[in-house]
Amino acid sequence: MSKLLSLNVKIGSFKQLFAPMGIGSTCNSPVLMERRQQIHLTEKCNEIRKLARLRVVDNSEIGKRAMAEGKPPRCIHVYNKRSVGFIGDKVLVAIKGQMKKGILVGLKQNQKPKVPKFDSNNIVLIDDNGSPLGTRIHVPVPTILRTILKEKTQAKGADYTKVLAIANRFV
């Protein structure tokens, strides 16, 4: 999905795309657009399944480089029974030819009341012990993760609450 998105940006240069979008301008003239493949954007496609593109939001080296190159990581496994990732779940991602684990810290799909819904599917990369690869998360993180990650930590050996320690803003 985001691959196609990035493709769009490449089609017309950035300037051309945003130039005619002044607030007062009338947009009756059809802009020449390349024929694009139709993408499904239903709720189901907002789910984190295998091969879903994610966004790394910490400042780990590999994550930063992957995002900068326009090759966001892909989810290749979700560590839960349903194989659909929800908030706070652990996923395995393919990033720059490597396999890394990550924790979902923000989702596009509809959430329960008072749980924030984000505009992108965010992950924080972690190692096997649960400690994050980066040192900062540069987007807000939902507070419900405090409870979820605490519960998961008690169940398993790894300590996921370290992810919370590097977050700089909770919503």
Partner 1 sequence: MNATRGVLSASWLKGNGFKRIVTFSTKAHAKEITASHQKHIPSAHTPTGTSDGRKSVIPQNYRFIYPEFLPDPKVEWRNPVREKLERMDMLDRRTKIDIPEFYVGSILAVTSSDPHAAGKVSRFVGICIHRDRCGLRTRFILRNIIDHQGVEVRYELYDPTIQKIEVLRLEKRLDDHLLYLRDALPEYSTVDLNMEPEFLDENAVVPINDIKVVLRPRPWLERWERQNLQGVVNVDQYITDKQRRQAIAHEKPWEKYDMMKQYRATIPEEEQKEIYAEVHSQLHNLEIQRKRNKRKRSFVKPTKLA
Which residues here bind partner 1, judged by CB under 8 A? 4-5, 8, 17, 20-21, 23, 25, 27-28, 30-31, 33, 35-36, 39, 41, 57, 106, 110-111, 113-120, 122, 138-140, 143-147, 169-171
Q: Choose between 83 and 135: whose C-beta lies nearer to partner 1.
A: 135
Here the tokens at position 127 are 């190692």
CA-based nearest residue to 48, from 16, 92, 4: 92
CB of 143 to partner 1, least distance (A): 4
Q: CB-wise, 80 or 168, nearer to partner 1?
A: 168
Strand partners, 75: 93
CA distances from residue 126 to 24, 36, 57, 103, 162 in whole angstroms, order as listed: 47, 36, 12, 7, 9
Shortest distance, CB of residue 65 to partner 1, whole angstroms?
19
**Residues ≥6 apart with Cβ < 8 Å to 54:** 48, 72, 73, 74, 75, 91, 93, 102, 104, 121, 122, 123
CB of 93 to partner 1, least distance (A): 19
Cβ distance to partner 1 smaller for residue 24 or 157: 24
Least separation in angstroms between CB 83 and partner 1: 24
